Amino acid sequence: MPNARQRNAGDKASSVVLSSVLCPPSSDHYAVFGNPVAHSKSPRIHAEFARACGENLCYEARLAPLDGFAAAARQFILEGGEYAKGANVTVPFKEDAFRLAEECTPRARAAGAVNTLIFQEGRILGDNTDGAGFTRDLTENLDFSAAGKRVLLLGAGGAARGVVESLLALSPVALVIANRSAEKAKSLAAAFAGRGLAPCGMGFAALAEEPAFDLVINATSASLAGDALPLPAGIFSARSLAYDLMYGREETPFLVQARKGGAKRLSDGLGMLVEQAAESFFVWRGKRPQAAVRAALIRQLRAA
């Protein structure tokens, strides 16, 4: 049987290397694939993790064509040979990566998406560290315990799906999934029924009947377009933590909305970005960058 590298040796090369990293021949190779990807902070994060942990690796950003993720990933493996060890995958390729992986971890299967690829002995393995990164940011960096709390997840796309299992593992007393399209929220909730607490799916308007939530997470992509969500004011209270999976230079529209709605604690997704990267680094290298290193990176990226 040919292995993944040999089998795909004929694929047309098509990705563009964006970062100017010159990989020394004897260092392990990693990359982040996305489109767009020029804005990605992952090369900087992993370079810092490698420095702090004394690991010899290089990590670059690769722009893959929208219809060419699999070929771009295989090209990377071919180029690196035995030194190509893994990759991160960002928007819009996480589902493509899930399909590319020959074997996936249970958390990647639950998310239906892969953000971390491991190239091992000719095989392509898929994992998803988004949920773990979210949990670590929430519980360790923000010191928030969701046990026994009311949790609202806004959105029912890939980003929302990626954190549902992690949220359920935190033992909230209620998990409501609300989405512009109520049907999508209901079907996402149904996909996670039968794992202890059953999430409840609904449209935004139905939230008017709900008491305030302790944790409100925005997993919609509305902030990307600068849109505010049509949320009833009563979902926030002074003890709510509002968490946007997105981040940006300015406070996101969702966090502005939450602050105006009375939420006193606000967080964007920058901490999650660093923590999911730390989890990928651990999967690849068996070493977890220390909390102080991760915290300093979050501060630096926020100030940049």
Contact residues toward ligand ATR (CB under 6 A) are: 155-160, 179-181, 184, 220-222, 225, 227, 229
- Tell me whether residue 131 or residue 289 sits nearer to ligand ATR (CB atom): 131
Closest distance of CB 178 from ligand ATR, Å: 9
Note whether 129 and 115 are within 8 A (CB).
yes
Question: Shortest Cβ distance from residue 157 to ligand ATR (Å)?
Answer: 2
Q: CA 42 to CA 93: how far, in whole Å? A: 15
Which residues are marked as active site? Answer: 94
The identity of residue 272, as a single letter, is: M
Q: Is the peptide bond before 24 cis (omega within 30 degrees of 0)?
A: no
Write out the two tokens for 42.
């992952």
8 A C-beta contact, residue 31 and residue 88: yes
C-alpha atoms less than 13 angstroms from C-alpha of 142 in its C-beta half-sphere: 24
Give the shortest CB-220-to-ligand ATR separation in angstroms: 3
Q: How far is the CB of 85 from ligand ATR (least distance, A)?
A: 26
Q: Which is nearer to ligand ATR, 222 or 273 (CB)?
A: 222
Beta carbons of 63 and 7 less than 8 angstroms apart = no
- To the nearest whole angstrom, how small is the minimum distance from the Cβ of residue 199 to ligand ATR? 14
| Alpha-carbon torsion (5, 110, 295, 216), positive or negative | positive
**In terms of CB distance, is 180 or 265 closer to ligand ATR?**
180
Q: Which is nearer to ligand ATR, 4 or 222 (CB)?
A: 222
Burial 60-95 (b: 16+ CB within 10 A, else e): bbbbbeeebbbbbbbbbbbebeebbbbbbbbeebbe
User: What's the min distance (Å) between Cβ of 225 and ligand ATR?
Assistant: 6
Which residue shows structure tokens 């960058």? 289
Tokens of 34: 């996305």
